[in-house]
Structure 1
């Protein structure tokens, strides 16, 4: 089901909020890592004289490391606050990349004056920049990854050219003869003036390709992230719809049936079981309703039926339908329970208590027998129903209770199904509409302890 405009806006807003939180968390981790590294480098550099005799820290290096550590701490404090700006992370990664490259160009490789700085590029290498690009992936920003890779390439070439252009003479791979001997390689490759321009091209091409690959990976990770957010939004949307339908649907059909139909929209298969039907009616409701305003009557009925339905549900019965001022309840249809007759008697006892609490008198008829249940109707409109001779008999017993003055009446099948759990009394055989012969009728006395 496609999302409407409001749901699309909700998805976009939630995606942006979640992504922002994820980016902030990743950026905090990245900045924390680089701050720990610069802080550790500062501590080591300052404390090195205590370990290595004759080592003299350069003041400029101490100041740079201190500044970089302070910048990292300040940036950590600003991430996620109203002072945070989108460009700050770009500036910090550019600064870190440029600083590493500047180290190769400006920090002397040797204290001897005759050792060219180009040796730093040959002895160490561009792999010092790979951690910067890798850490940038934590931000979940593919743009930042590409930016960091581009800055690394530009800064690396700037540092290399700064050093190479300052040399009096340079040698590179092009200075090796076509049919070079080992002596030719030794003379060029091992020379202090060898700058390896081709190596710099390979290095920067490799690092930028790595940055692009990682940027694609981050982009795909974002796509997965948005798909997950969309799935979560859709799941919450469907859950909300189901809850709303369940509340609305459950107002008009049995709650258990509503939950089944919402979980599986296929029609419920007809089923036939042996169960117990209970029909309840409020005594004297017609004169009662004539003496009160309709709004008052409906409000009183709503409160009574709410408590009565709760009592039915707690005994695992299902209210199939409301019959004006009463209702039909079934046990073991459509929900299977092991003791439908006993559950019906317990429910009847509780309903009498509920009725007294609401100043109502009620009549109840209970019958046990075959019950058929299922959905009936057209393709456009269906309803759930339960039918069978026991439903009709329960209704007749409820009507008979008015003549006999008994609040609860049972048929013989219900009495037999109770076994020895309830004491009952025979109140005679009575002719009932729809039944050819007079049927024995019983009333419950009390549950047997």
Structure 2
């Protein structure tokens, strides 16, 4: 450890704006959105066919009702197969074109071949007078749910072709088809109704108008879908870039800080608040460094830091900086935390249990911890090209000083009185008396784990120097159960 005043840093460069190049996963996200849209469309199709079957079975007489139910089943089963393939992930794009073509073409055939009275006395052309081409619009909307401009245009094209072909077939069966052109220039009401209400009214001009508007509508909707695809793709790309940046950034700064910075770069503006600071260092790290090769030493540190930082996070703290073999954790900065002093003491207990019960890189490690509570300055500081999240102030320095004094007092934990009081004066900590802290004019009341504190008190009462405390079997000093 480097002695001296400590400024804990979680440094990283400013987060760059997302690039123009799309991550590979963005296309996968877009495909997923398309499949979700097709699932929604197929569920809507299934519900519509089901309602059609219920209606057909309930109202028309036999055999018309049987025809309704049979036609519904004929269309329902292939759609369920498509829905099944969508959920299994085996769906192919051609299935979307196939089913929409099937539905639109089938309805076009019904309009062209089935007379409205089902008996054949009323010409089929009446279907085109009553129903119109409106049945194509729901299928175009279904195609839009798949976020496919090509599918929208394909559906509109099939609908128009089927509609025109069916109408031409129906009109060819009329002996004397009538059109708008058969009206006189200034028709009377009787003349007008005689043409437009006739069963022979084919109205070729109306069909041209219908085709024009449906193609225009389909073109506009295809353009809207194309823009929607771009929005979905760009959002997916941005989300993946943010996730990748967070994954990389989170390796160098606390994940909570990285997340808040990605959401709002101004969210961690410097501010002062009361917090509890914990400084943790590995005892005897110099001897470990002499004995272990660098690669093994780094592996040891990585394994230890991974477990230790997770424990600090579980207790509600945030590790805001590493320095050699030590790290600094803050409780109530930047994450708001009630009872932050008690949470820091809990983290200290958990860390001691960790090193007592686990080896890292095949080695036992011992740790020393200093804890202090008071005002700290926390936030992002730095220049435009490089910024860091920092926690600094007298409280931070005191925590580091207390950690460095643990060796002299033969304990793994020293806690400032401010932390002891804020934590509710836990019985597992006993006062070792006011202690001198390097760099401070006044003494600081400090508390240690019960066993060490008791032996310190006995040594002071005997007028002698503090007696060494025997190490535990694993080489780690043991503390009281109150921690």
TM-score in same-fold range (> 0.5): yes
Task: Report the CA distance between 1:282 and its aligned residue.
Answer: 1.0
SS at match of 2:353: helix
> Which residues in structure 2 correspond to 1:40-189 (within 5 Å)?
44-45=62-63, 93=104, 97=108, 100-101=111-112, 120=123, 126-128=129-131, 130=133, 133-134=136-137, 136-137=139-140, 140=143, 141-153=152-164, 155-164=166-175
1:377 is aligned to 382
Indicate the RMSD between aligned Cα atoms, in angstroms.
4.8
Higher relative contact order (CA 8 A, sep 6+): 2
> Which residues in structure 2 correspond to 1:294-373 (within 5 Å)?
294-358=294-358, 359-373=364-378
Quote the Cα distance in structure 1 between the aligned partners of 2:313 and 2:271: 21
Larger radius of gyration: 1
2:146 is aligned to none
Task: Report the CA distance between 1:350 and its aligned residue.
Answer: 1.4
Please, which moves more after superposition, 24-33 or 307-316?
Answer: 24-33
1:435 maps to which of 437, 440, 455 = 440
1:244 is aligned to 244
Relative to its length, the structure with more helix (as a share) is 1
1:393 maps to which of 370, 394, 398 = 398
Task: Report the CA distance between 1:381 and its aligned residue.
Answer: 0.5
Asked if the contact 2:403/2:414 (under 8 Å) is kept, the reply is yes
Quote the Cα distance in structure 2 between the aligned partners of 1:304 and 1:30: 60
TM-score of the pair, normalised by structure 1: 0.71
Instruction: Report the CA distance shift for 1:382/1:172 in structure 2 as closer, same or farther (over 3 A).
Output: closer
Instruction: Report the CA distance shift for 1:41/1:151 in structure 2 as closer, same or farther (over 3 A).
Output: farther
Asked if the contact 1:421/1:447 (under 8 Å) is kept, the reply is no
Instruction: Report the CA distance shift for 1:129/1:391 in structure 2 as closer, same or farther (over 3 A).
Output: closer
TM-score of the pair, normalised by structure 2: 0.67
SS at match of 1:379: coil
SS at match of 1:200: coil
Unaligned runs of 5+ in 1: 49-61, 111-118
1:4 is aligned to 21
Task: Report the CA distance between 1:126 and its aligned residue.
Answer: 2.8
Task: Report the CA distance between 1:73 and its aligned residue.
Answer: 8.2
Instruction: Report the CA distance shift for 1:447/1:232 in structure 2 as closer, same or farther (over 3 A).
Output: farther
Quote the Cα distance in structure 2 between the aligned partners of 1:289 and 1:208: 87
Task: Report the CA distance between 1:300 and its aligned residue.
Answer: 1.4
Quote the Cα distance in structure 2 between the aligned partners of 1:34 and 1:311: 60
SS at match of 2:377: strand
| Aligned positions, number | 413
1:200 is aligned to 202
SS at match of 1:282: strand
Asked if the contact 2:260/2:267 (under 8 Å) is kept, the reply is no
Quote the Cα distance in structure 2 between the aligned partners of 1:375 and 1:144: 55
1:54 is aligned to none
